Amino acid sequence: MDINFQFRVMEKIDISLVYEIEIASHLHPWSEKNFIDCLEHHYWNYVLFEENVPSQIVGYCIVMPGVEELHLLNITIHPHFRRQKIALRVLSAIEKIGFTHHYLKMLLEVRRSNESAIKMYEKSGYLLIGSRKDYYPMGSNDVFLREDALVMEKILRKLNE
Ligand SMILES: CC(C)(COP(=O)(O)OP(=O)(O)OC[C@H]1O[C@@H](n2cnc3c(N)ncnc32)[C@H](O)[C@@H]1OP(=O)(O)O)[C@@H](O)C(=O)NCCC(=O)NCCS
Q: Show the domain range for 141.
A: 5-160
Domain CATH number, residue 109:
3.40.630.30
pLDDT attached to residue 158:
73
CA-nearest residue for atom 48, ligand 1, is 110
The CA-atom distances, in angstroms, between 39 and each of 15, 88, 99, 140 are 10, 23, 22, 28
Cβ–Cβ < 8 Å for 158, 136: no
Q: Is the dihedral of CA 120, 124, 130, 133 positive or negative?
A: negative
Cα 27 to averaged position of ligand 1 atoms, centre (Å): 16
Which of 109, 116, 128 is the best mutation target for the ligand 1 pocket, counting ligand atoms within 8 Å of the beta carbon and taking the most? 116
Q: Which atom of ligand 1 is nearest to the CA of 111?
A: 48
Q: What is the pLDDT of residues 91-107, one digit of tens each?
A: 999 999 999 999 999 99
Task: Count how many domains the chain has.
Answer: 1
Global pTM reads 0.96
Whole-number pLDDT of residue 138: 82
| Residue with CA at minimum distance from ligand 1 atom 43 | 76
Q: Which protein residue has the closest C-alpha to ligand 1 atom 26?
A: 116
Q: Residues 79, 81, 84, 85: is their CA dihedral positive or negative?
A: negative
Whether 50 contacts 58, CB under 8 Å: yes
